[in-house]
C-alpha cells in the first residue's frame, strides 16, 4: 500500500515555493520528502518536522541549529542545506537531494562488506566529520542511517540535527539524545559529547560494515547501554575470521572506552585509516566476507531517541513482583525507541534490599519511558519533586556571564539572537521567563542576546595591525574576510592598506570585510646566477633579503659550486626580509664532440646541434660561398660542455 497517498503534504506547495512530490522516509522527529523548488526548478529534499513537535521550542531550535550548522560546512561529503523556514504548523529544511540509498540499506541487503568497500565508505564519512570537527561542531548521531550513498557512488553524511558546537557541550544530568547502538560511554555515563563521541560511533559503524552486525546487542536498550559502559567492542576478526589485524586495531582505537585513548577527532582517525589501508594487500582488501550475518534487522535501536540517563546505571534483575512489572515495559525495544522527550534527575542514593540495590526513582524513569514509547503522551516530564526558584537578574550581562549565572542556579539555557540599536552586541536584551519570575529549578531560561545594529559601518582600518583589524571588525559586528597582500611604500609590513568595502560603508551585521595587508616596500631581486655562494649571499643580504640554499644541485652552464638558479628570479620584486632560494651548480654536462671535418656545412651543423652544441661558422673573405668543413674549434672525440659553441672553419 502506498502510504504517501495519505500524506497531507504530498502534492502541496509548501511556503509558496516547494512542490512536495513524494515521501522518502519517516523518522522520529521529522519526515523527508522529495520536492521541486519552483523558483530554481531543481529537485531537492525537504525535511519537515512533525507538526506535533513544532510547538516545542527545543525541537524547533535544534532543527534551526541543524540548518545553520550545516550551511557553514562547505564540504562535498556533507549533505548541503539550501534553506530553512516555516509554513503554518510546518517547520522545514530544504536540502540537497541524493538519489541512492543509505548505508543501512546496503548492510541490510548485503550483510558484511569487503574491507575495501568498508574503508571506501568510511574515509569520506571521516572527511565530512573532520570538516565539521575542525569547524567546531560535533555530529552526535553518527550511524548507517545517516550515511547516504548516491547512485553515482558519492558518500555523504546527513542529519546534523543533533549537532552541537564543541565549545558549548556541557554535562547533562537529565537525558541523552542519540541512538543507543552508537553512544559512546561518556555520553551514557556523564552526558558529555565532544569530537571523540563521533570517533566512537564511526568505530562501531566500521565494525558493523566488516561483520554485518553490531558489536553490542540485547533485548532492551538498557542492556546495550550497559555493554557500552562495561565491555570493549570485540575485534571484527572474532566474528569474521581472517580479517587483518590492522582492521582490528582501527576498531579498537576508535572504540576505546576511555575517550583519552581514542583519536581526538575524525581527522586523526582518518589518518589512522589511511595508514592502516596502506599496509593491506589487494587480497586482504578484496577478501569476500561470509554472508551468514544477514539482513534480519530490528531497526528499533537505530532510531535517534531521547534516552533517560537512569538507563545508563547498571541495574540488577528484579527481586520482587512489583519490580518485575516495572521492568517488563522494556522487553520490547521497538516500543522503547520511539522518539520522545523527557528529563530525569540523577538517581538518588541506593538502598539495599536483599543484597541488591535499586534506585527507586530510576525505576520511575523507566516506567515513564515505557509510557511515552506506547504513545500515551509527549512533552517534558519532570521526575523531581517540583522545586521552584526565581530567574536571576542577567539583563545587560555578556552572554557567557549570564549563561554561567543561570547554570549555577541549576537552570538550562537557550540562546536566541536579535538585532538591537540599544543593547550592546553580545549582551542580554531580555529573558523568558522574565527576571524574577518563579520557575522550576531545572527548567530552561531563554536568553535574547543582542547582535548589535542590523547594519554596521565599516571602520577605518588603514594602518591597523592585521590582528587588531580582525578584532575591531569582530567588536563592530563584522567579520574578517579574504586577506590579500600587496607592496606598499607608506604602510609597514603586516599592517592594513585598505578594506573592501571601504571605511564608512554600511553592511549587514556579520558581513565579511576583505582586507589588503602590506608586504612592505618592494625590493628588486638582484641577479646572482653564476656568482659564488659567498658573493651571492652578500649581494642578496645587502638588498635586505634572506638566503636559503636548496638541498638539491643541478647541472648548468656555470662552474661547479656557483649559483645556477634563484627563486624569485632576477628583476622580480620581493618584500624586505623575504627569502631567496639558491640552487647550486654541479657544473656543465660534458659531451663528446663529433668529428665533422670534411663534411658539408649543413651536415656538420646538424650533427653538432644534435649532440647538444651551438654552432658558429668561420668563413673568411675567401670562402664566403664555401660548403665544406676544413676544421673545428674542438677536435672530434674531445669533450666540451653541453650547450657550448663549436666553431667550424669553412673552405
Number of domains in the chain: 6
Query: Quick one: which of 57, 88, 87 has its CA closest to 379?
Result: 57
pLDDT for residue 338:
29
Catalytic, out of 141, 198, 248, 323 = 141
210's enclosing H/E stretch is helix 195-211
CATH number (domain holding residue 29): 3.30.200.20
330 in a structural domain: no
- Same domain for 112 and 192, yes or no, is yes
Please give the Cα distance from 567 to 225 (Å, whole number).
Answer: 61
User: Grid coordinates in use for 510?
Assistant: 556579520
pLDDT at 276 over 80: yes
Quickly state the pLDDT bin for 627 (edges 50, 70, 90).
confident
The DSSP symbol for 256 reads -
pLDDT for residue 35:
94
Q: Which of 480, 495, 518 is the last residue of a domain?
A: 518
pLDDT at 13 over 90: yes
C-alpha torsion 383→388→393→394, nearest 10? 10
407 in a structural domain: yes
- Same domain for 175 and 43, yes or no, is no
Please give the Cα distance from 203 to 122 (Å, whole number).
Answer: 9
User: Grid coordinates in use for 616?
Assistant: 658558429
421 in a structural domain: yes
pLDDT at 357 over 80: no
User: Grid coordinates in use for 550?
Assistant: 636548496
Quickly state the pLDDT bin for 167 (edges 50, 70, 90).
very low
CATH number (domain holding residue 632): 3.30.10.20
Quote the domain boundaries for residue 161: 100-288
pLDDT at 171 over 90: no
pLDDT for residue 345:
30
Q: Which of 558, 585, 612 is the last residue of a domain?
A: 585
- Same domain for 128 and 226, yes or no, is yes
- Same domain for 618 and 485, yes or no, is no
Maximum pairwise Cα distance, the chain: 129
pLDDT at 298 over 70: no
**Strand, coil or helix: what is 62?**
helix
Which are the contacts of 65, defined by CB distance < 8 A and separation ≥ 6? 163, 164
Q: What pLDDT, in 10s, does the model give residues 14-38? A: 999 999 999 988 877 789 999 999 9
pLDDT for residue 367:
35
Q: Which of 90-104, 353-367, 412-426, 513-527 has the lowest mean pLDDT?
A: 353-367
pLDDT for residue 218:
80
pLDDT at 528 over 90: yes
pLDDT at 306 over 60: no
| Ramachandran angles phi, psi of 300, nearest 5° | -60, -40
- Same domain for 44 and 143, yes or no, is no
Q: Which of 293-307, 343-357, 399-413, 592-606 has the lowest mean pLDDT?
A: 343-357
Q: Are strands 496-500 and 512-518 parallel, antiparallel or unpaired?
A: antiparallel
Please give the Cα distance from 157 to 180 (Å, whole number).
Answer: 19
List 508's β-bridge partners, or say none: 455
Please give the Cα distance from 613 to 305 (Å, whole number).
Answer: 79
Please give the Cα distance from 91 to 607 (Å, whole number).
Answer: 81
The reply to whether 141 belongs to the active site is yes
pLDDT for residue 240:
94
533 in a structural domain: yes
372 in a structural domain: no
Asked if residue 234 lies in contact with residue 203, where contact means CB atoms within 8 angstroms, the answer is: no
**Strand, coil or helix: what is 64?**
helix
CA distances from 553 to 71, 75, 538 (A): 49, 41, 20
List 428's β-bridge partners, or say none: 449
**Over residues 170-192, mean pLDDT:** 71
In terms of Cβ atoms closer than 10 Å to its own Cβ (0-12, 13-18, 19+), residue 214 is: buried
463's enclosing H/E stretch is none
Please give the Cα distance from 187 to 141 (Å, whole number).
Answer: 11
User: Grid coordinates in use for 415?
Assistant: 540562546
**Strand, coil or helix: what is 352?**
strand
- Same domain for 633 and 544, yes or no, is no
Asked if residue 169 lies in contact with residue 139, where contact means CB atoms within 8 angstroms, the answer is: no
In terms of Cβ atoms closer than 10 Å to its own Cβ (0-12, 13-18, 19+), residue 340 is: buried
Q: Give the distance, in angstroms, between the CA of residue 428 and the centroid of all CA atoms in the same chain.
A: 31
300 in a structural domain: no
Sign of CA dihedral 188, 192, 197, 200: negative
Q: What pLDDT, in 10s, does the model give residues 75-85? A: 889 998 898 88
> Mean pLDDT over all residues of the chain?
80
Please give the model's pTM, rounded to 2 decimal places.
0.48
CATH number (domain holding residue 253): 1.10.510.10
47 in a structural domain: yes
Q: Which of 350-359, 425-434, 642-651 has the lowest mean pLDDT?
A: 350-359
The DSSP symbol for 431 reads E
pLDDT for residue 580:
94
Site of grid cell 527481586: 319
In terms of Cβ atoms closer than 10 Å to its own Cβ (0-12, 13-18, 19+), residue 291 is: exposed
Rg (the chain; Cα; Å): 36
Helical axes 115-134 vs 195-211, angle rounded to 10°? 170
Quickly state the pLDDT bin for 316 (edges 50, 70, 90).
very low
Q: Where are the beta strands (DSSP E) in 100-184?
A: 100-102, 137-138, 147-150, 155-157, 164-165, 175-178
Helical axes 195-211 vs 103-110, angle rounded to 10°? 30
Please give the Cα distance from 68 to 524 (Å, whole number).
Answer: 48
Quickly state the pLDDT bin for 427 (edges 50, 70, 90).
very high
636 in a structural domain: yes
Please give the Cα distance from 463 to 277 (Å, whole number).
Answer: 51
The DSSP symbol for 540 reads H
Name the region of 598 (left: φ>0; alpha: ψ -120 to 50; beta: rest): left
Q: What pLDDT, in 10s, does the model give residues 431-483? A: 998 888 878 777 899 999 998 877 889 999 999 999 999 999 998 888 999 99
pLDDT for residue 557:
85
- Same domain for 57 and 158, yes or no, is no
The DSSP symbol for 123 reads H
CA distances from 3 to 12, 29, 91 (A): 16, 18, 21
- Same domain for 215 and 123, yes or no, is yes
Site of grid cell 579574504: 482
CA distances from 621 to 388, 618, 645, 651 (A): 118, 10, 22, 10
Residue 263 exposure: Cα atoms within 13 Å on the Cβ side = 25
pLDDT at 302 over 60: no
Q: Which of 471, 497, 518 is the last residue of a domain?
A: 518
Quickly state the pLDDT bin for 168 (edges 50, 70, 90).
very low
- Same domain for 273 and 211, yes or no, is yes
pLDDT at 342 over 80: no
- Same domain for 134 and 262, yes or no, is yes
Site of grid cell 666553431: 647
Please give the Cα distance from 115 to 287 (Å, whole number).
Answer: 7
367's enclosing H/E stretch is helix 360-373
Neighbours of 159 (CB within 10 A): 24
Query: Quick one: which of 555, 558, 563 has its CA closest to 537?
Result: 563
- Same domain for 492 and 432, yes or no, is no
CA angle 73, 418, 413 (to 5 degrees): 75
- Same domain for 614 and 537, yes or no, is no
Please give the Cα distance from 128 to 198 (Å, whole number).
Answer: 11
**Strand, coil or helix: what is 13?**
strand
Amino acid at each position: 500500500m502506498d502510504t504517501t497517498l495519505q500524506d497531507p503534504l504530498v502534492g502541496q506547495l509548501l511556503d509558496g515555493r516547494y512542490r512536495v512530490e513524494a515521501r522518502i522516509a519517516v523518522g522520529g522527529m521529522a519526515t523527508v520528502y522529495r520536492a521541486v523548488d519552483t523558483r530554481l526548478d531543481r529537485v531537492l529534499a525537504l525535511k519537515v518536522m512533525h507538526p506535533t513537535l513544532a510547538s516545542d521550542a527545543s525541537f524547533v531550535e535544534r532543527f534551526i541549529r541543524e540548518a545553520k550548522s550545516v550551511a557553514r560546512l562547505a564540504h562535498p561529503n556533507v549533505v548541503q542545506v539550501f534553506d530553512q523556514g516555516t509554513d503554518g504548523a510546518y517547520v522545514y529544511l530544504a536540502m540537497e537531494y541524493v538519489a541512492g540509498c543509505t548505508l543501512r540499506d546496503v548492510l541490510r541487503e548485503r550483510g558484511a562488506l569487503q574491507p575495501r568497500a568498508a574503508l571506501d565508505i568510511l574515509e569520506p564519512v571521516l572527511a565530512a566529520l573532520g570538516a565539521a570537527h575542525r569547524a567546531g561542531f560535533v555530529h552526535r548521531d553518527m550511524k548507517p542511517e545517516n550515511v547516504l550513498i548516491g547512485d553515482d557512488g558519492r558518500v555523504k553524511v546527513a542529519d546534523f540535527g543533533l549537532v552541537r558546537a564543541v565549545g558549548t557541550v556541557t554535562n547533562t544530568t537529565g537525558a541523552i539524545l542519540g541512538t543507543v547502538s552508537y553512544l559512546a560511554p561518556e555520553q551514557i555515563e556523564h552526558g558529555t559529547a565532544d569530537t571523540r563521541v563521533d570517533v566512537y560511533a564511526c568505530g562501531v559503524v566500521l565494525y558493523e560494515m566488516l561483520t554485518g552486525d553490531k558489536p553490542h546487542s540485547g533485548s532492551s536498550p538498557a542492556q546495550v547501554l550497559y555493554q557500552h559502559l562495561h565491555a570493549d567492542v570485540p575485534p571484527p576478526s572474532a566474528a569474521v575470521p581472517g580479517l587483518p589485524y590492522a582492521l582490528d586495531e582501527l576498531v579498537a582505537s576508535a572504540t576505546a572506552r576511555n575517550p583519552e585513548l581514542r583519536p581526538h577527532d575524525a581527522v586523526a582517525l582518518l589518518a589512522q585509516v589511511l595508514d592502516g589501508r596502506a599496509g593491506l594487500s589487494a587480497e586482504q582488501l578484496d577478501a569476500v566476507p561470509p554472508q551468514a550475518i544477514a539482513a534480519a534487522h530490528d531497526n528499533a535501536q537505530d532510531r535517534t531517541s531521547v534516552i533517560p540517563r537512569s538507563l545508563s546505571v547498571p541495574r540488577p534483575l528484579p527481586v520482587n513482583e512489583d519490580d518485575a512489572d516495572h521492568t517488563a515495559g522494556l522487553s520490547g525495544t521497538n516500543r522503547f525507541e520511539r522518539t520522545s522527550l523527557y528529563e530525569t534527575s540523577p538517581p538518588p542514593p541506593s538502598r539495599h534490599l536483599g543484597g541488591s540495590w535499586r534506585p527507586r526513582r530510576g525505576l520511575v524513569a523507566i516506567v515513564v519511558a515505557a509510557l511515552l514509547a506506547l504513545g500515551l503522551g509527549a512533552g517534558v516530564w519532570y521526575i523531581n519533586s517540583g522545586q521552584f526558584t526565581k530567574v536571576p537578574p542577567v539583563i545587560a550581562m555578556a552572554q557567557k556571564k549570564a549563561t554561567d549565572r543561570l547554570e549555577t542556579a541549576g537552570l538550562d539555557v537557550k540562546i536566541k539572537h536579535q538585532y538591537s540599536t540599544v543593547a550592546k552586541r553580545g549582551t542580554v536584551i531580555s529573558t523568558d521567563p522574565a527576571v524574577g519570575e518563579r520557575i522550576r529549578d531545572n527548567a530552561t531560561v531563554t536568553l535574547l542576546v543582542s547582535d548589535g545594529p542590523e547594519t554596521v559601518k565599516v571602520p577605518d582600518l588603514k594602518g591597523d595591525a592585521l590582528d587588531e583589524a580582525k578584532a575591531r571588525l569582530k567588536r563592530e559586528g563584522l567579520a574578517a574576510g579574504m586577506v590579500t597582500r600587496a607592496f606598499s611604500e607608506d604602510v609597514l609590513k603586516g599592517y592594513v592598506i585598505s578594506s573592501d568595502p571601504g571605511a564608512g560603508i554600511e553592511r549587514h551585521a556579520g558581513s565579511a570585510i576583505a582586507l589588503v595587508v602590506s608586504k612592505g616596500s618592494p625590493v628588486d631581486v638582484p641577479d646572482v646566477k653564476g656568482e659564488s655562494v659567498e658573493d651571492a649571499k652578500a649581494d642578496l643580504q645587502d638588498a635586505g633579503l634572506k638566503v636559503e640554499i636548496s638541498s638539491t644541485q643541478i647541472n648548468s652552464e656555470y662552474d661547479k659550486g656557483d649559483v645556477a638558479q634563484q627563486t624569485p628570479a632576477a628583476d622580480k620584486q620581493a618584500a624586505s626580509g623575504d627569502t631567496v632560494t639558491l640552487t647550486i651548480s654541479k657544473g656543465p654536462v660534458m659531451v663528446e664532440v663529433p668529428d665533422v671535418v670534411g663534411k658539408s656545412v649543413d651536415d656538420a651543423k646538424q650533427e653538432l646541434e644534435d649532440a647538444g652544441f651551438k654552432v658558429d661558422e668561420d668563413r673568411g673573405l675567401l670562402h664566403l660561398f664555401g660548403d665544406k668543413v676544413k676544421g673545428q674549434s674542438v677536435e672530434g672525440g674531445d669533450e666540451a660542455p653541453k650547450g657550448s659553441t663549436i666553431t667550424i672553419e669553412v673552405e
